[in-house]
Each structure stands twice: as C-alpha cells, then as structure tokens.
C-alpha cells in the first residue's frame, strides 16, 4: 500500500509520518506538496502536524485553499483513508471533512507533553488493532487543541459512535485533570460518518518505536495496514 504525506507551508511533522510509514512499517510513502493536484496513487493520505501557513487567521484556515485539498476531498468522498494529526485535524475541520472546530486551549498555553487517551471505538480502519477501552500514552503539542461543537453536533457524534479517542487518566477515567485543553466531552479524536476520515490531536507517529520509550502509537498505523489486508 502507499501513503501520501501532505506538506503544507509550516508542516513540521511530515518527516515523522514518512519515517513511520516507510521505515518502520516498510510501506511505500511519498510527499504530497501543497501545490500538487493529484495524490500520486496514494491509498492513505496523512495530513501531519505543524503550523500550516503559519496558522495565520486561525489554525488550518488557509490550508483549505491549497490545491492538494480538492483531490483529498474526492479521495475521502470515494472512501479513501485520510488521517489528520494535530494541525491535520484542524485542517480537516476547516475543509469540512470533519465537524466542529479546534479552539485555543482552555488555559491559553501551548502544551507539549504526554497524555493518556482512551480508545472508544475499534470498528474503524485506524483502530482495529486496539481494544475498546484501551488506554495508551501519547504526546501532544498544540496551542489550539480544544475541540468544540454545539450540543446537537456532539450528540450526533455520540449517536453515530464517531468519537474515537478521549483524553483520560491512566486508568481510563474522564477526570477534569486528564483533559489537557478543555475539549468538549474529553474528545481527542473523531471520525466522519463513513469512518474513513480520522482527525486526532495527539501524535501517534511520535510514539511508534521502542527506541523512543513508547511504541503505543504504532497500533494506529498497524490498524491501517490490517484494514487493507482484509480487503
């Protein structure tokens, strides 16, 4: 299978994503430049973390005008897999592939540390190798990770089981202290109704090798491989 990693002006986690998909997983991986107008045969598109277009205006707002976004939209509409990580999650909400928005962190501080997330759903191509309720440690690095949506949208996400990850403590409890940025209902990641587009604020690509002291995030990428093996 082939991964395409989008590079927008200001992306800074593109090489992390390329390393995990190509060097760790052993899959074909290629850079997709923001001015490209096709996905070069990519089966999975990753929009990585960073500060697309400097996060001017607001995070992800300018990225929706990049030429690469239209083929990504078509790819998603046709059932292709799209994974947005951190700034990539912000971009996916701006382009309308995921509902809601990412606002400034509740305490208005940039956060860069490890957190725990609880796996809510496993029937997605991104979580099939995880267990429901499984908690794992993963890094965050964001200033605008506070997920917001109105109550009607949040209720719909719950009904459709689109909340994929929630911030929790190490035991899976949804305590106030475990929510680092004030996200509504502890949301750390959601998918679309078709379950082929996932946005998550934590960085699984930064904890995908034992040499880093934590390889828990590799399960997200192994899930993607497993989903293709079942096709």
- Residues labelled catalytic: 86, 203, 205
The answer to whether the CB of 85 falls within 8 A of the CB of 6 is: no
**Tokens representing 107?**
């305490």
Sequence-ordered list of residues with C-beta below 8 angstroms from that of 151, at least 6 positions apart, any chain: none
146 membership: H or E segment, kind and range: strand 146-148
Cα–Cα distance for residue pair 66/8, rounded to 1 Å:
8
Residue located via tokens 């794992």: 136
Sequence-ordered list of residues with C-beta below 8 angstroms from that of 62, at least 6 positions apart, any chain: 52, 53, 56
- Residues paired with 46 in a beta bridge: 5, 83
């Amino acid at each position: 299978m082939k991964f395409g990693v989008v590079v927008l002006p200001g992306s800074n986690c593109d090489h992390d994503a390329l390393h995990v998909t190509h060097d760790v997983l052993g899959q074909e991986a290629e850079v997709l430049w923001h001015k490209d107008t096709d996905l070069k045969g990519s089966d999975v598109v990753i929009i990585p973390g960073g500060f697309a277009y400097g996060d001017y205006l607001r995070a992800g707002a300018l990225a929706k005008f990049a030429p690469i976004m239209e083929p990504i939209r078509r790819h998603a509409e046709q059932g292709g897999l799209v994974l947005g990580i951190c700034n990539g999650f912000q971009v996916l909400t701006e382009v309308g592939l995921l509902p809601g928005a990412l606002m400034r962190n509740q305490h208005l501080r940039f956060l860069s540390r490890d957190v725990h997330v609880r796996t809510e759903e496993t029937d997605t191509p991104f979580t099939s190798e995880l267990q429901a309720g499984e908690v794992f440690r993963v890094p965050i690095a964001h200033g605008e990770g506070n997920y917001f949506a109105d109550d009607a949208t949040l209720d719909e996400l719950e009904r459709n089981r689109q909340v994929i990850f929630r911030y929790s403590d190490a035991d899976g409890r949804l305590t106030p202290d475990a929510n680092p940025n004030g996200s509504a209902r502890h949301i750390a990641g959601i998918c679309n109704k078709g379950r082929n587009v996932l946005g998550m604020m934590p960085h699984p690509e930064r904890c995908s090798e034992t040499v880093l002291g934590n390889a828990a995030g590799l399960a997200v990428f192994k899930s993607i491989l497993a989903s293709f093996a079942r096709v």
